[in-house]
Amino acid sequence: MDTIGFIGSGNMAEALIKGLIAAGVYRREQIFVSDILPDRLEHFVHTYGVQLAQDNGALAATVDTVVLSVKPQVLESVLGEIKTNVGLQTLIISIAAGKRIEVITKILGDVAVVRVMPNTPALVGKGASGVFANAKARGRLEEALRIFEAVGTAVVLDSEELIDAVTAVSGSGPAYFFLLMEEMIKAGVELGLEGELARELVLQTAAGAAALAIDASKKGEEPASLRRKVTSPGGTTQAAIETFEANGLPQAVRAGINKAYQRSKELSA
């Protein structure tokens, strides 16, 4: 893995650059960035010591791997800017939400493309990414995995269509947990806890539950099993769980994720 360039310097690009340097996947001098925002570029130089490209075309002509970390609505114009600079051996990685690989190859030609759906916990090194490589990129799939494993977990998908499922489950997923945290904090306050105290308890409970579930998963234990272990018959947890179920929480969660999935498919059409 020689050089990598990021077109676009948003939060996800920053998370990846920070993770790549920390993990030693790339050195600072191997990482290039281009953007239309001078302030962001200055931030990247001073904070991470990376290299600046004169423009998008110059970046694409310089690096071995190009990461398209731009907003979906500008992707095609960016592709037009780099199409004459992308080499036969260039690996293109796109994190532009809702944009299928065919959008990229229609403009750049028969190039190696990996499409990735990451999520925002990558900002703290706890991301979950779904990765799909077209036929030409499959031999370089390990390169893409190393990039996204630097900021969390990355899983390989068998088909590009599964990106929509990843979007619904983990791409949008942090917001589902944030919503549950919000409501738990509100409930705690209603029960007499001070707001800051309720927040501290809920956030630590969320972090602890996630850590416990991850540890148990390594031993082959499912979340449902953990739930049953802490649900004593006739106890407080059972009373809450039965109320959640009676109010349709399980069905609402699945319906919401299905709705996100359908919307992802619409946006990718």
Q: What is the pLDDT of residues 223-265, one digit of tens each?
A: 999 999 999 999 999 999 999 999 999 999 999 999 999 999 9
Q: Residue 257 has what pLDDT?
A: 98
Can you tell me the distance from the alpha carbon of 33 to that of 155, in angstroms, rounded to the nearest whole number?
26
Full-model pTM: 0.92
Can you tell me the distance from the alpha carbon of 184 to that of 260, in angstroms, rounded to the nearest whole number?
23
What domains appear along the chain, each with residue ranges and CATH number?
A: 4-161 (3.40.50.720), 173-268 (1.10.3730.10)
Tens digits of pLDDT across the chain (269 residues): 599 999 999 999 999 999 999 999 999 999 999 999 999 999 999 999 999 999 999 999 999 999 999 999 999 999 999 999 999 899 999 999 999 999 999 999 999 999 999 999 999 999 999 999 999 999 999 999 999 999 999 999 999 999 999 999 999 999 999 999 999 999 999 999 999 999 999 999 999 999 999 999 999 999 999 999 999 999 999 999 999 999 999 999 999 999 999 999 998 87
Q: Are strands 127-133 and 152-156 parallel, antiparallel or unpaired?
A: parallel
Q: Residue 267 has what pLDDT?
A: 86
Q: Residue 269 has what pLDDT?
A: 72
Element (H, E) at 116: strand 112-117
CA distance to 11, 77, 129, 177, 208, per residue, from 70 (Å) = 10, 10, 17, 26, 34
Strand order in the sheet with 91-94: 51-52, 31-34, 4-7, 65-68, 91-94, 112-117, 127-133, 152-156
- Start-to-end CA distance of the chain, whole Å, equals 33
